[in-house]
Amino acid sequence: MDTQNDNKEYAPALGIKDRYLEQLQSDFQLLAEIVLTQITLASSLLQDNHREDVILELKRNEKIINSLDITIKEKVINAIMLFTPRASDLRRLMAYHDMTISMERVGDLIENIIQLLQEIDFSLHGFDNYKKLLDKMFVHTDKMIKSAVFSFAGGSNEMAYETIQMDDKVDKLDKKIERKLADEFKNEVHSSQSLINIMNINSVSYYLERIGDKAVDVAESAVYLIEGKDIRHAKSPNPRKSNP
């Protein structure tokens, strides 16, 4: 008896709606992977901000991100119109829509960061140490995006709440860089390049902090999908923590 063929014969085929949702999940997974690649590539510019191969790859990836953004949003709208989804499927579709907006915005923020990094001269006296601080921010934001995406893919509200709590580290690093720039360079006469360095480092830090916020948005969408609960305006989104 050919058990393998029997299993194939009687295995239930996915319906049109299920296949459509699978493709939507695949598109979003690709979007997330490219965004994470962008963060890694952008962070490498801290060591050499004039690498043309890296800059070209970043630009190519940004075009793919924009294309996937349009594709996913269109698929979400089409799914709502074609399948009249039940509540759980509708939550998933809206989560994809909201997370895609967040991921596309991360792509835009990375694009801003790339432009700023190319203008910085870290070899000027006093600026080399900022590489380490910015690199820490890149590491934390990368970890937040990964954790947020995994919380959605794995249906883990625990990981989603942990992502939200990580945001404090990125916020503190942003404030640290802002204070450090103000303290270290307040009594100096600056060249034009020194002023560019100060403004751009501050802006890169701010944009990385905003990427952390977008990771929080993705994590909140994951919670909405898993729990059916909107926690975006909750004062303490983690139910494990109580206010003192």
Reading the block at residue 173, the tokens are 């690093």
pLDDT score for 14: 56
Nearest to 227 by CA among 161, 145, 144, 146: 161
C-alpha 141: how far from chain center = 7
pLDDT digits (tens, 9 = 90+) for 111-164: 999 999 999 999 999 899 999 999 999 999 999 999 999 998 888 889 999 999
Element counts in the chain: helices (H) and strands (E): 7, 0
pLDDT over 60 (residue 27): yes
pLDDT digits (tens, 9 = 90+) for 178-216: 999 999 998 877 899 999 999 999 999 999 999 999 999
DSSP 13: P
Q: 30: pLDDT confidence band, cut at 50, 70 and 90?
A: very high
DSSP 232: T
The CATH T-level fold of domain 14-227 is Methane Monooxygenase Hydroxylase; Chain G, domain 1 (1.20.58)
User: What values do phi and psi take at 25, rounded to 5?
Assistant: -60, -40
More confident of the two residues 16 and 237: 16
What is d(CA 90, CA 78) in angstroms, rounded to the nearest whole number? Answer: 12
Cα-based distances in Å from 155 to 31, 60, 149, 218, 219: 18, 31, 10, 13, 11
pLDDT score for 117: 97
Domain ranges within the chain, ordered by starting residue: 14-227
pTM: predicted TM-score of the whole model, two decimal places: 0.86
